[in-house]
């Protein structure tokens, strides 16, 4: 599994080094690597990611692929953005993520941030990312399109609806 | 595209472990049963395409860095007013 990355073991931590287009060479603790049980639709070759916080004052997270240096998603914890969001996680999916029925899963939302208009950023509520943090397994769990929007505006200036 | 004709009750085997079965044909609609391992995602095509589209957009638009977002959130969290919207 490590064959696809450039591995450099440091003496103390056993960390591996991966190339990324946005962050250059990243030193990664193998115990932090999250594996997709099914890959993101559209990106079948990227199975491994790390979650890299943007910064202390920032709610944003990077989901950086370890298999494709150019691939990274901007994400945010669903609980921070929409506390009332309750995506459906089928029992079979929980099994796939090796989580028990009561075990809480971390839910991240992928953000689409238009280049010229960051305030027009949208969150994908149709395909949230469920993560079993203990087992470091994740999957994008598709929701009912009549309930949830793939392009949910993060900022609502006026409540027009 | 491989084209096979099936009657209700008959199935198609894909690879090892995937089966598509025609369950019922009624009112111009075909009810289809799919057996597949959990890690194989099975979805209505239009949802699949929607997610591929949005994942691809999100990945393409992901900036080189998030410094442009500093002004957007800016420490004034009141600007983000998530409203409980649902549906399209």
A82-118 per-position pLDDT tens digit: 999 999 999 999 999 998 888 899 999 999 999 888 8
Is residue A22 in some structural domain? no
Is B34 inside any structural domain?
A: yes
pLDDT at A13: 63
Tell me if A140 sits within 8 A of A41, measured CB to CB: yes
Instruction: Specify the DSSP element, H or E, that contains B47.
Output: helix B45-61
3-class state of residue B79 by DSSP: helix
Mutate to test the interface with A, among B51, B58, B74 (most CBs of A within 10 A): B58
Angle at A148 between CA A45 and CA A124, to 5 degrees: 40
What residues contact B15, with CB distance under 8 A and at least 6 apart? none
- The Cα of A11 is separated from the nearest Cα of chain B by a number of Å equal to 30
| pLDDT computed for residue A4 by the predictor | 54
ipTM topping 0.95: no
Give the residue from B80, B31, B18 showing the smallest Cα distance to A122.
B80
3-state SS string for A44-95: CCCCEEEEEECCCCCCEEEEEECCCCCCEEEEEEHHHHCCCCCCCCCHHHHH
Residues making up chain B, counted from first to last: 88
pLDDT at A55: 84
Domain that holds residue B13: 7-61
Q: Regarding predicted confidence, which is higher, A117 or B21?
A: B21
Q: What is the pLDDT of residues A3-49, one digit of tens each?
A: 555 554 444 568 899 999 999 999 999 999 999 999 999 999 999 99
Q: Is residue A3 part of a domain?
A: no
* Residue B43 in domain: yes
The string of pLDDT tens digits covering residues B27-69 is 999 999 999 998 899 999 999 999 999 999 999 998 888 877 7
Q: CB distance B55–A82 less than 8 Å? A: no
In a domain, B37, yes or no: yes
- State the residue range of the domain holding A81: 31-153
| Assigned domain for A109 exists | yes
User: What is the rounded CA–CA span in Å between residue A28 and residue A21?
Assistant: 15
Which domain CATH number covers A121?
Answer: 2.30.290.10
What pLDDT sits at residue A9?
A: 47
pLDDT at B77: 43
> Is it the case that residue A155 has pLDDT exceeding 80?
yes
Classify residue A6: in a domain, yes or no: no
> Which band of pLDDT confidence, cut at 50, 70 and 90, is reported for residue A80?
very high
CA–CA separation, A16 vs A67, rounded Å?
A: 13
Provide the terminal-to-terminal Cα distance of chain A, rounded to the nearest Å.
Answer: 48
Nearest chain A residue to B70 by CA distance is A58
Q: Between the CA of residue A61 and those of A49, A73, A111, B9, what are the distances in Å?
A: 12, 8, 10, 48
Q: A65: distance to nearest CA of chain B, Å?
A: 11
B22: closest CA of chain A, how far (Å): 23
Nearest by CB: B51 against A59, A142, A153: A142
Query: What CA–CA distance (Å, rounded) separates B58 from A94?
Result: 25
pLDDT (0 to 100) of residue B86? 40
Q: Which of A73, A96, A146 comes nearest B39 by C-beta?
A: A96
Inside any domain, residue B77: no
Is A125 part of any domain? yes
The answer to the question of residue A14 being in a domain is no
The structural domain count of chain B equals 1
Q: Average pLDDT, stretch A120-141?
A: 97
| Structural domain includes residue B85 | no
User: Out of A62-76, A144-158, B13-27, which region has the weakest mean confidence (pLDDT)?
Assistant: A144-158
The Cα A32–Cα A136 span in angstroms is: 7
């Amino acid at each position: 599994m490590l064959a696809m990355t450039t591995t450099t073991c440091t003496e103390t931590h056993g960390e591996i080094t991966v190339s990324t287009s946005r962050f250059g060479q990243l030193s990664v603790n193998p115990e932090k690597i999250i594996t997709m049980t099914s890959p993101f639709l559209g990106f079948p070759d990227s199975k491994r990611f790390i979650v890299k916080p943007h910064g202390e004052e920032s709610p944003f997270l990077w989901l950086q692929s370890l298999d494709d240096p150019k691939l990274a998603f901007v994400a945010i914890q669903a609980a921070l953005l929409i506390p009332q969001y309750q995506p459906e996680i089928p029992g079979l999916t929980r099994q796939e993520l090796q989580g028990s029925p009561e075990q809480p899963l971390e839910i991240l939302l992928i953000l689409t941030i238009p280049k010229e208009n960051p305030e027009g950023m949208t969150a994908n509520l149709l395909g949230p990312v469920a993560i079993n943090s203990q087992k470091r397994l994740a999957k994008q769990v598709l929701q009912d399109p009549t309930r949830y929007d793939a392009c949910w505006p993060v900022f609502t200036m006026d409540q027009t609806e | 595209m491989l084209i096979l004709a099936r009657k209700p009750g008959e199935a198609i085997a894909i690879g090892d472990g995937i089966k598509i079965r025609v369950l019922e044909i009624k009112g111009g609609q075909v009810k289809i049963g799919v057996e597949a391992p959990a890690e194989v995602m099975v979805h209505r095509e239009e949802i699949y395409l929607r997610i591929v589209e949005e994942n691809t957009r999100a990945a393409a638009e992901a900036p080189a860095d998030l410094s442009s977002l500093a002004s957007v959130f800016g420490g004034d969290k009141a600007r983000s007013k998530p409203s409980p919207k649902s549906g399209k």
